[in-house]
Amino acid sequence: MKVCDLIKLLEDQPVDMEVVVESYEEGVDPVTELKAISVSDKENREWYEGIYEENTQSKHNVLLIKSKYNRTEAETDQVGDQVSDQVERGKS
């Protein structure tokens, strides 16, 4: 996504809406999606966790900038398992 594309998408959003990104891990990925979500403060969080958590009951609306390349831990584990299975099959 280019800056001009992002600007066009942002023009449709309220100008006073807070903008957030997903938290943790290293590296960067291209922006592929904007998603309006409701959040609340995350209590008793670990240092590596974001300060908000998604909460559909909350009235605190934010704009989440996402990337389709960002994977959840479960998805990452699943891909790792698939690769391990392929490697094991290749050894036999």
Q: Note the pLDDT tens digit of each residue in 26-36.
A: 777 888 889 99
pLDDT at 84: 52
Q: Note the pLDDT tens digit of each residue in 56-88.
A: 999 999 999 988 887 655 554 554 555 555 555
Structure token digits, residue 50: 């974001």
φ, ψ (nearest 5 deg) of residue 60: -85, 100
Report for 28-32, 52-56, 88-92: range of highest mean pLDDT: 52-56
Report helix, strand or coil for 58. Answer: coil
Q: In sequence order, which residues have a C-beta less than 8 Å from that of residue 63 and are 6 or more positions away?
A: 10, 13, 17, 18, 19, 20, 34, 35, 36
